[in-house]
Structure 1
Amino acid sequence: VNVDVKAQVTGYLDQIYVKEGDYVSQGQPLFKIKADIYNEQVNNSKAAYQAALSAEQNAKLEIEKIKPLVEGKVYTELQLKTAEANYAAAKAQVAQAQAALGSSQINAKFTLINAPVSGYIGRIPNRIGNLITAADATPLTTLSEINTVNVYFSLSEADFIAFIKDQNNKSSNQQATLLLADGTAYNHSGKVELASGNIDRTTGSMALKASFTNPDKILRSGGSAKVILKKAHENVLLVPMAAVKDIQDRYFVYVIGEKNKISMKQIEIAGNTANAYLLKSGLTACEKIVMNRIDMLNDGMQVQPTKKSTM
């Protein structure tokens, strides 16, 4: 998960506490915007608040002074009501000054920008002295939170339907395996979830995601990998990958016929294991195929078979 770090107030960048690539914890200081003007606003707001409190107190004392004198006809009812109105206005001024003080204190706190989540620091495009605004399109940096990494992938509509059917089968294991960019298998399985509720009409595919724990911090945002979903099959034939020729996304094997002459035959595959294809159609269990060195063969050649144990 990537989180953009942006300023919430405008000012000149005063401090950068981290470097690109650093790992930071949530709440750790990242940047400091020059705070002089905001501290001054806090001081002014405090003074205005104290003045409002004093005005409120004076207005209250005025009422307390006038009330007993109204009965003696020294002050009129109108003068008392005027004093009460002044007191109400003074109370409103206190509330307004208190809100302004709170707002100025919040803005002053915003000059210190802390990490919203734990993660790795991305690029830092600004330098000390640059003017920073809340409206800047480019973030101060991007934090990559990688304790758990979501890997997004798509399935065709047909494969998605098959996936859902397998998921509804309680005996089916719907954990995902990840094949890393270097060809090695990631040593933690992932949980598969829907990433969208609709099939993309443009591509005819459904978006899914697999969530993987990342304790060793091997997985990083923006990386690439292959997601492998296992499917249970019964009574299927396995064809070794070494025996299959891939020609423009079509799959062929060399079948051994009479007098050990070979002929190329197209097959359909339903999936694969680590080193074999699952046969969908094109071969029967009694047919013999060439198991290796197929790049050296041509249709119609005669070969000398040797026995090989079945898979």
Structure 2
Amino acid sequence: MQYKNKAKFIYLGIVISFLLVFFINIGVQMNIPYSSRAFLEYQIVPVYSKVSESVENIFVKNGDYVSIGQPLFEVDKNIYIAQYTSALGQYNEVLDSIKNLKNDIEKNKVLVSKNKVLVEQNKKELLKYKKLFDKKYINELDYEAMNTKLIESEKILKESQNTLNNLLVKYKKEEESTPQLLIAEGALKKAEINLKNTTILSPISGEVVMDNFYQNTLIKQDTTLFYVKNDNILTVNVDLKEKNLKSITKGREALIVFDGISQQVIKGKIEKITSVLVEGFSTSNTLVDITDDNRWVRDPGKIRVSITIENSNLIKNLSSGSKASVILLSESNNIFYDALAKLWINIIRVFNYVY
């Protein structure tokens, strides 16, 4: 009987221990999410040229610190100067043609007015000639000559009106919408942009990371040549389980251990939570890829979380992409969960160092 009671207590103890570990495990996963698949990311921006030509001058070297907008290098601009000069000439030529068209219109308006006056005068003269002809004061030859003069003046008026109408069709009251001017302006703007792009400026402030970049090298448009990195803005990206989404909030504190400096525990804060999962989109020309999984419990979804390092000077000797383990401290500053988080990250720190 005594052994049976002991056995009951042992079984009860096992069950309670199992349930205790089970619920602690759930509480830990829900309150202090952990992942060993984090990586360091520098702010790195590629440097490229928007025009193709040979490199003429290089103003910086590898390791130099540059400010945003600072000239890095320039390409041979002679051909782009020539293109700009040609485009400027064509633009001015179109402006002159519009100006000449306006002058021609004004001249033809005056001419049409004069021809109208002349036609009216000839009509009045013809009436006088008709009266004189009816009274036999002039002969038929003089009358017909006046009639011919009227017909000729009407013909000249019609020709001048047609010329004016043709000029008005070519001219637009809103000169800036003239097709030839728009084409010339576009060509001039493009040439101006290309000429401006012959000097390549730094996209951000940071350190130049340059390798095998020399003067007189022929470069292609939109091809990455080297990089500028800013190691004052360092973030750690980690994919955490989607079920923790409610508790993963901006500003929540995290503890990080990098493989490269596993003897240190680094502090950070959540800066951004990405709202799109890897499986959250598909291209327009394909169907959504639904994974065929026979597991009883499927893998949980993951969300990308970006964590800003509090003291970036501690990890500036690490390379971008360095691996790390991350655990979040409890959202409500729970002493028990925070203690477990610190204990676990230190265990990981020791194992990372040994392993």
Normalised-by-shorter TM-score class:
0.5 to 0.7
Structure 1: give runs of 5+ residues left out of the alignment: 239-268, 278-311
User: Which is greater in Rg?
Assistant: 2
Does the alignment pair 1:272 with 2:343? yes
- The residue correspondences of 1:13-162 to structure 2 (distance < 5 A) are 13-73=55-115, 74-75=156-157, 76-88=160-172, 91-136=178-223, 139-155=224-240, 157=241, 161=243
Q: CA deviation at 1:165?
A: 6.0
CA distance in 2, matches of 1:96, 1:153: 51
Listed as ranges, the gaps of 5+ residues in structure 2 are 1-42, 116-155, 280-290, 294-298, 349-355
Would you say how many aligned residue pairs link Structure 1 and Structure 2?
A: 237
CA gap of 1:4–1:46, structure 2 versus 1, over 3 A, is same
The alignment partner of 1:31 has SS state of strand
Q: Is the Cα contact below 8 Å between 1:149 and 1:213 reproduced in 2? A: no
Q: Note if contact 2:254-2:270 (Cα within 8 Å) is conserved in structure 1.
A: yes
Q: Structure 1 vs Structure 2: percent identity of aligned residues?
A: 26
Give the partner amino acid of 1:87: Y
* SS of alignment partner, residue 215 of structure 2: coil
Q: Which runs of structure 2 are paired with 1:298-309 in the superposition (5 Å)?
A: none
1:138-179, CA deviations, whole angstroms, 9 ceiling, x for partnerless residues?
A: x11122233322211233x4xx64x446558xxxx8301233
Structure 2 CA distance for aligned equivalents of residues 187 and 235 of structure 1: 20
Distance in 2, Cα, partners of 1:86 & 1:6: 44
Q: Find the counterpart in structure 1 of residue 277 from structure 2.
A: 198
Distance 1:165 1:94, change over 3 A: closer
TM-aligned CA distance change 1:275 to 1:126, over 3 Å = closer
Q: Give the distance between the partners of 2:50 and 2:101, measured in 1 at CA.
A: 38
Query: Contact conserved, 1:67 with 1:80, CA < 8 A, in 2?
Result: yes
Cα contact 2:254–2:267 (8 A) shared by 1: no
Q: CA deviation at 1:32?
A: 0.6
Letter of the structure 2 residue corresponding to residue 85 of structure 1: V
Matched position secondary structure for 2:323: coil
> 1:184, CA displacement in angstroms?
4.4
Task: For residue 182 of structure 1, give the secondary structure of its aligned residue in structure 2.
Answer: coil
1:144–1:221 Cα contact (<8 Å) kept: no
Name segments (4+ residues, structure 1) moved above 4 Å: 88-91, 163-168, 199-205, 232-236, 273-277
Distance in 1, Cα, partners of 2:261 & 2:314: 16
Q: How far is 1:194 from its partner?
A: 2.8
**Pair 199,17 (structure 1): closer, same or farther in 2 beyond 3 Å:** closer
Deviations 1:33-61 (A, max 9, x none): 11000011111112112222211111111
| Greater relative CO, 1 or 2 (CA 8 Å, sep 6+) | 2
Seen in structure 2, the aligned counterparts of structure 1 residues 214 and 28 have a Cα distance that, compared at 3 Å, is farther
Distance 2:169 2:49 in 1: 42
TM-score normalised to structure 1 length? 0.64
Question: Per-residue CA shift, 1:168-210, capped at 9, x if unaligned?
Answer: 8xxxx83012334223436653225434543877964623221
Q: Higher helix fraction: Structure 1 or Structure 2? A: 2
| Letter of the 2:324 counterpart | A
Matches within 5 A, 1:187-226: 189-191=268-270, 193-195=272-274, 197-198=276-277, 204=300, 206=302, 207-213=304-310, 216=313, 218-219=315-316, 221-226=320-325
Contact map agreement 1:147 1:214 (CA 8 A) in 2 = no
Taking the aligned partners of 1:153 and 1:187, their CA distance within structure 2 comes to: 15
Residue in 2 that maps onto 1:178: 256
> For residues 234 and 17 of structure 1, do their structure 2 counterparts lie closer, same or farther at Cα, with a shift above 3 Å needed?
closer
One-letter amino acid matched to 1:272: L
Q: Secondary structure at the match of 1:126?
A: coil
TM-score between both structures, scaled by the size of structure 2: 0.57
> What residue identity is the alignment partner of 2:328?
L
Match for residue 263 of structure 1? none
Q: Which string of whole-angstrom CA distances, capped at 9 and with x for unpartnered residues, describes residues 80-121 of structure 1?
A: 011223434994323322221111011000110101111222
